[in-house]
Copies of this chain bind each other. A is one copy, B any other.
Amino acid sequence: MASSIHDLARHLNISIGTVSRALNGRADVNADTRQRVLEAARELNYSPNQSGRSLRQGATRSIAFMLQPHPGDQEYGEPFFIPFLTGLQARLAESGLDLIVVMGAPGDYQQERLRRVVETRRADAVVLAWTRREDERIDYLTERGFPFATLGRSRSGGSSYPSLDLDFEKAGSDAVDRLLARGHRRIAAIRPALDLNFGYLFLDGYRKALKRHGIEVDPGLIADGFINEAGGYQVTPRVMLAKDRPTAIIFNNDAMALGGCKALAEMGIRPGHDIAVTVIVDTPLCRYFSPALTAFRPSLEPMGRRLAEMLLASLPAFAGPEGTRIIHEVWPLELIARESD
């Protein structure tokens, strides 16, 4: 069916070694024969078998991104990652690498799937997202010496791998500053209950900003919930029942914010009028919601490009002349002021 390097060799009456060298642009092949090989390749519609090549070279020339759907929220997609993946893909393609997105089942937290990818050597490196504070995936990969990079920081694995994260601490702090400047004193914070690292960073920023302004942190105004709409819906009433009601809520996540607003609506509390609502990570949903939610926006597509760049810089096979480098970066979030605060 598909033509192999042997077909080319037979067709041109030369050896497969020469064909391979010609195709791979090696120096020790006559310019004339190279020309003929390339023509024959086009004519016979040849393209190399990736399995054969991978087997020989021990490299698949592809990078895997582990995509994890939100558990328990079938209807809600993951618009967050698509622009990121677009950037990631674009940069990898420039270096001739394929991006493969490995889907996991919702909720299994990828460990099994990750093992499969690593152990069957389906990819040369992986990119992780939704990093946890203590992340077993990172432990696993560092232990095995498998190359990877992360979108998000973690305590696990030291600083032996490239990572790109958003400055959730600053965003949390800025959100508080802004609300304080607008006269709020009772500010609640709602974040995901899992060990997700950005939840800690956000809360750190929140706490520090309050303290900086001499305001005591009230544990009754901080709540953790499941990281989806249902979680926000469930947990928001809890902070609203604090003895001294908050006049503002900062949500760490768009889906939780939407659920929270639903709960507020049912309590007769109108975001933007009766209460200020701020969201840390902006998505299109925030923009279209009514009232439009004030939120902190990441530059996802450039981040994807950059993380690909950083990953490549850490791989010996792709690092430039100055050798491999492990880069860590933290990118700012941009405040998009809308109607909800």
- Determine if B121 and A49 form an interchain contact, defined as CB atoms under 8 angstroms apart: yes
Q: Mark A13-47, 1 if CB is under 8 A from B, else 0.
A: 00000000000000000000000000000000101
Choice from B69, B81, B103, B301 contacting A99 with Cβ under 8 Å: B103
Choice from B75, B121, B288 contacting A83 with Cβ under 8 Å: B75
- Determine if A258 and B288 form an interchain contact, defined as CB atoms under 8 angstroms apart: yes
Q: With the chains together, A94 CA to B166 CA distance in Å?
A: 36
CB-CB contacts below 8 Å: A165-200 with B? none
- Determine if A86 and B103 form an interchain contact, defined as CB atoms under 8 angstroms apart: yes
Q: Quote the shortest CB–CB distance from A287 to chain B (angstroms).
A: 8
User: Does A283 sit within 8 A of B, measured CB to CB?
Assistant: yes
- Determine if A119 and B79 form an interchain contact, defined as CB atoms under 8 angstroms apart: no
User: Does A269 sit within 8 A of B, measured CB to CB?
Assistant: no
User: Does A106 sit within 8 A of B, measured CB to CB?
Assistant: yes
Question: 12 interchain pairs (CB within 8 A)?
Answer: A2-B119, A2-B121, A49-B55, A67-B101, A69-B85, A78-B82, A86-B105, A98-B116, A100-B100, A101-B103, A289-B290, A290-B291
Chain B residues with Cβ under 8 A from A74's Cβ?
83, 86, 300-301
User: Does A48 sit within 8 A of B, measured CB to CB?
Assistant: yes
User: Does A319 sit within 8 A of B, measured CB to CB?
Assistant: no
Q: With the chains together, A283 CA to B284 CA distance in Å?
A: 12
- Determine if A80 and B83 form an interchain contact, defined as CB atoms under 8 angstroms apart: no
Q: Mark A265-302, 1 if CB is under 8 A from B, else 0.
A: 00000000000000000011100111100000000110
Q: With the chains together, A195 CA to B101 CA distance in Å?
A: 27
Q: With the chains together, A89 CA to B75 CA distance in Å?
A: 16
Chain A residues bordering chain B, tally (CB within 8 A): 56
Closest-by-CB residue of B relative to A282 is B75
Closest-by-CB residue of B relative to A119 is B47
Minimum-distance CB pairs A-B, first 6: A290-B290, A77-B79, A101-B101, A77-B82, A47-B119, A51-B54
Closest-by-CB residue of B relative to A87 is B74
Choice from B75, B103, B120, B284 contacting A85 with Cβ under 8 Å: B103
Q: With the chains together, A77 CA to B81 CA distance in Å?
A: 7
Choice from B49, B60, B83, B285 contacting A285 with Cβ under 8 Å: B285
- Determine if B106 and A102 form an interchain contact, defined as CB atoms under 8 angstroms apart: no
Chain B residues with Cβ under 8 A from A45's Cβ?
119
Closest-by-CB residue of B relative to A47 is B119
Closest-by-CB residue of B relative to A145 is B1
Q: With the chains together, A89 CA to B113 CA distance in Å?
A: 11
User: Does A104 sit within 8 A of B, measured CB to CB?
Assistant: yes
User: Does A76 sit within 8 A of B, measured CB to CB?
Assistant: yes
A76-B79, A289-B289, A289-B290 are known contacts; what are 7 more A-B pairs with Cβ within 8 Å? Answer: A69-B82, A74-B300, A77-B79, A79-B79, A86-B105, A89-B104, A285-B285
- Determine if A102 and B103 form an interchain contact, defined as CB atoms under 8 angstroms apart: no
